[in-house]
Amino acid sequence: MNRQLIKSLFCIVSLCTIISCTPSHPISGTHQIDQKPNVLFIAIDDMNDWVGFLDGHPQAITPHMDQLAKRGINFTNAHCVAPACGPSRSALLFGVPPHQSGLYPFYNQMNMEPAVLNTYVSIPQLFKESGYATYGSGKIHHGREWSYIKDNGKREWTENNELALQALPDLIYDYDAGFGKGRKMAFCPTTSPKGHHPDYNTAEYGVDVLERNHDQPFFLALGFVKPHLPFVCPQDYFDLYPDPITPPQIKADDLEDCPWPARSNAKLSDDFKFRQDDKWQKVHRAYLACNSWTDANIGLVIDALDNSAYKDNTIIVLWSDHGYHQGEKRSFRKFSLWEESTKVPFIIIDPRHKYQGHCQEAVSLLDIYPTLTEMTGLTKPSYVVGESLVPWLKNPSLQKTTPALITWGRGNHSIRTRQWRYNHYFDNSEELYNHSTDPHEWYNLATQPEYQNIKTDLAQWLPTSEAPLVIQGKALHNVVDKDKPDLLPAKQRFEEMNKKLKPALIRED
């Protein structure tokens, strides 16, 4: 079955599902045209560029998001603020990067000093305090603490769907279908009905909100968890991807010219595990299936919006919190300063102005906060960092002089421009990649004398000062950095895995 036929069948199946969930005529709204614009804020967990509108994988089937990308501005060179859920979402939602907040790793926000988080006003909180009705469902912040438990969610939400999501039964799938202990490392279909899936319920909640009459502008935030591990979703979406799955292009000795702090980020044990009996095929298929599942759920919401009175007055912002390695750099998951881990889907649609096109300039998810406040006429907090992207909505070809800054641990930073990536680590080791000639980041140019001026130019964008690590409430801190600088365990693991892995990580002398 060819890819185009599969896409056509997928669209038909999705359309049938959508028709059963949406009204046959637009629902009336109350004075929506005269009000401030509404905002539909779509957050996705762990989605890399394996989507149609970014051409990250030739078999990716994501028709609903592909259509969204055509309706607005598709930022094809967008990057997270940090390549991990917690610090990425904190930076985006509070509008402040880790090197200024000190929020470098993961946190249990309920265990943090209130004074730390009370310093900031999150995006949904700002909209609520500015007269918007705010609705939330699914993963917005990392963890439920700040979104739904703290103050019963009243700080940010007029209404939220968390109790309904928590009441759902556990999904049913074959725990032994994975390659590790427990539920998380599974890569298989579920046998649960769609109604038991949290992401489907988040989509249904969004449909419900959009079918209501609203007498004030609304901010609707929907957080989709897939394709986060475990890679499980309904069977229909696995059926979209018959074997074989095209693997990503991988250079076996890609880590040979990388410094030790960079090597320490590679999840070599996963690569070793998945190379046994060609398990990567199963992992890749499950990841693509989960991307299509999320796409279908987003399609439900967009169809409801298009059948409502709010279609022409609702800004749509779609983003993923970071990318995801699928074997590149001999790694799996995120947690690195390389392209696969930092590049994200990012789309903005403003139907009031019909902005359309794609922007190849490097942008940061940190830019969402100032962009939304400018688009809606709200006043952003004085501390908010980032650059409004409104000029690039008006003219996607406009040259951008400020790069995207990505941070993973104190002292580890990446500078990404349209052409270059420059990584500078806590021990002053470096990487430099020229995306014009090396889109896979296979050849580190940092030690070559002819590129010293390039490095100097890019290094001026590195932070000149760094906030100390916030200690209280700290949870997972899984990076070697200024606060955990011991590289010896990483070197030992690397040497051990180099003996096991075939092909080897580095060439033998």
Residue count of the chain, please give it.
509
Q: Quick check: helix, strand or coil at residue 336?
A: coil
Peptide bond into 503 cis (omega under 30): yes
142 counts as catalytic:
yes
pLDDT confidence tier of residue 130, bands split at 50, 70 and 90: very high
List of residues 6+ apart from 74 with CB closer than 8 A: 53, 54, 346, 347, 357, 358, 359
Give the integer Cα–Cα distance in Å for 184 and 223. Answer: 19
Q: Which range is most confident: 212-226, 268-282, 490-504?
A: 212-226
Q: How confident is the model at residue 509 (pLDDT cuts 50, 70, 90)?
A: very low
Model pTM score: 0.93
| Domains along the sequence of the chain with CATH | 37-253+265-402 (3.40.720.10)
Single-letter amino acid, residue 337? L
| Three-state SS annotation for 149-201 | HHHHHCCCCCEECHHHHHCCCCCCECHHHCCCCCCCCCEEEECCCHHHCHHHH
CB count in 10 Å sphere of residue 183: 14
Please report, as a single letter, which amino acid is at residue 304. A
Sign of the C-alpha dihedral computed for residues 89, 94, 95 and 96 taken in this order: negative
Q: What is the pLDDT of residue 22?
A: 37
Q: How many CB atoms lie within 10 A of CB 160?
A: 23
pLDDT over 50 at 96, yes or no = yes
pLDDT at 303: 98
pLDDT tens, residue by residue, 131-183: 999 999 999 999 887 789 878 889 999 999 999 999 999 999 987 776 666 67
pLDDT of residue 9: 47
> Could you say which of 57, 99, 141, 142 is catalytic?
142
As a whole number of angstroms, the distance between CA 338 and CA 261 comes to 12
Model confidence at 222: pLDDT above 80: yes
The confidence score (pLDDT) of residue 4 equals 52
Say whether 359 sits in a helix, a strand or coil: strand
**How far apart, in Å, do the first and last CA atoms of the chain sit?**
46
Q: Which of 80, 85, 188, 233 is catalytic?
A: 85
- Check if the beta carbon of residue 330 is closer than 8 Å to that of residue 250: yes
What's the chain's average pLDDT? 92
Do the Cβ atoms of 269 and 497 come closer than 8 Å? yes
85 is an active site residue: yes
**Residue 27's pLDDT is what?**
36
Q: Quick one: average pLDDT of 485-504? A: 93
- Residue 33 pLDDT level (bands cut at 50, 70, 90): very low
Structure-model confidence comparison of residues 172 and 18, the more confident one? 172
